[in-house]
Structure 1
Amino acid sequence: MIKLIWLHKTNINNKKSKEILHSEKCKKQFGFTLIELMITVAIVGILAAVAYPSYTSFVTQSNRSEGQRELLRFANLQEQYFVDYRTYGTDLKALGKTTATVLTEHKNYTISVVAGANALGFTLNATAKGAQATNDSTCSPLTINQVGLKGPPGCWD
């Protein structure tokens, strides 16, 4: 009987030790391995390398449309001025502004006017400023004149 009890105790001890070993193996691990982290950083880097140029191109074109919009608005004001006075305004003050040049809403362009001979023509210029000047150097300045000729070519598409 003593031997039987000893075997029973041994079985219990083996079960407990197996349970302890099993519970230690099955503990949940938290965190990331270095390899997982490096793979994630590489994927993010590749996505950023592809996405960033597209993003800056989109922002540049969006800012360019702001300059175009303002040029068209001031060209319309010039035409209204011409209907009233039979000449075009020689500067933006003639069109109701307080200064000879005007900044666009987001300050990406400076709008100015160059009067033609005898004020019978005009050229409006939108000169890029800051980051827009750096990113969009081929399309600065944007221009429009009294007959609607827009420049530079390819920048008004």
Structure 2
Amino acid sequence: MENPIPPKLENQICFPLYVISKEMIGLYRPLLEKLDITYSQYLVLMVLWEKDGLTVNQIGEKLFLDSGTITPLLKRLEAKKYISRQRKTCDERSVEIFLTKNGQDLKIQACEIPLKMKEKLNLTDEELEDLKILVDKLFLKLLK
């Protein structure tokens, strides 16, 4: 190959996605600090708010996290008394995760977060919808 052209940062889609991810998590940080949770813990809680009683593996699958990453998150949430872990009676190798009363109450407090994030982003409903559609499309293509 003669005179290969090195890639330019400004031409890459990966770089703005990387920065956007970091910045978005940074925008969540002050909102989540009020709830005494991290962004990763927030993701776990959102999964459980949708469907309580999932196994560790099911939560990991939904969040694309392995057990080595999800287990410490769950231990910290349990220490904060937001969840409880229970071994399944039919298969003791499998652990189910349940929200505690504190974890359920946190859901009510977290309801304001999406609206506050929308205000911080200062995008119209249509822009947010278009962005979500495009991001979901990219997400699905990357999973193939």
TM-score (norm 1): 0.27
Indicate the structure whose relative CO is greater, using CA pairs within 8 Å and at least 6 residues apart: 2
Give 1 or 2: higher helix fraction.
2
Give 1 or 2: higher strand fraction.
1
TM-score (norm 2): 0.29
